Amino acid sequence: MFAIFLTLIVIVAFLLIVVIMVQNPKGGGLSSSFGGGGAQIGGAQKTTDFLDKSTWTLATVLLVLILLSNVAIMGNNSTESRVIGGDNAAPATEIPAQENTTIPAETNTTEDAE
C-alpha cells in the first residue's frame, strides 16, 4: 500500500515542479508567450488562473498523500506488532546463565622501600 502512495507522491511532486517552473512571478512565463499582459482579452489571464489553481490543487493533493502514506505506515506497524505480540508468537528462549567467573582480589605486593 505504501508503494502506491510513494508512486503517487513522486508523480504529483513532479507535476508540481513542472507547474511552478512554467509560472513567472513577474507576469511572464507561459502567459506572456500568448501575447502580453493582463489587459489581453484572450487566454493569458485564464492561463495564469489555471496555473495558480493547479499549483494549489497539486500542493494540497501532495500534502494529503503524504499524510495518508503516514497512516499506511502506521497501519502496517500496528499489524506487525499485533502478530508478534499475539497468540501465534514464538515462545521466548532462555539465555543460558554464564559461568560465574570471579576476578581474584588484588593483593598488596608493593614493598615498602624505606
Instruction: Give the integer Cα–Cα distance in Å for 12 and 16.
Output: 6
Q: Is residue 90 part of a domain?
A: no
Top mean-pLDDT range of 2-6, 35-39, 86-90: 2-6
Residue 106 grid cell: 588484588
C-alpha separations of 95 from 67, 75, 92, 98, 114 in Å: 42, 33, 9, 9, 54
In a domain? residue 95 = no
Phi and psi of 93, rounded to 5°? -95, 145
The number of distinct structural domains making up the chain is 1
Task: Look at residue 12 and tell me if it is in a domain.
Answer: yes
In a domain, 107, yes or no: no
Which residues lie below 8 Å from residue 29, measured CB to CB, with a gap of 6+? 22, 23, 51
Is 97 a residue whose pLDDT tops 70?
no
User: Across all residues in the chain, what is the average pLDDT?
Assistant: 73
Asked if residue 22 lies in contact with residue 79, where contact means CB atoms within 8 angstroms, the answer is no
pTM surpassing 0.85?
A: no
> Where in the sequence is the domain holding 12, given as residue range(s)?
1-24+44-79
Q: What's the pLDDT at 44?
A: 58
What's the CA gap between 76 and 95, in Å, rounded?
A: 30
Distance CA 16, CA 89 (A): 46
Is residue 65, in this structure, part of any structural domain at all? Answer: yes
109 domain-assigned: no
